Amino acid sequence: MAKFKVVKPYQDTQIGKKLKKDEEVEMTVKRSDEVEKTLNEKGFDGPFLERIQEKK
């Protein structure tokens, strides 16, 4: 799982929650791609998520 920061608020139907700007959420990269693709197809301007690079 990767960590993402919400850039624009949106309703995530998979987790059943509205995600707010600057909120951090864990999801797979594949799921984040699905979110971006689905919202763009519905006419919303992205990006909605920004991946947070973990410090090693």
Token representation of residue 11? 């309703």
pLDDT in tens, 1-56: 899 999 999 999 888 899 999 999 999 999 999 999 999 999 999 899 999 987 76
Predicted TM-score (pTM) of the model is 0.83
Q: What is the pLDDT of residue 28?
A: 94
Q: Where are the beta strands (DSSP E) in 1-56?
A: 2-6, 10-12, 17-19, 24-27, 49-51
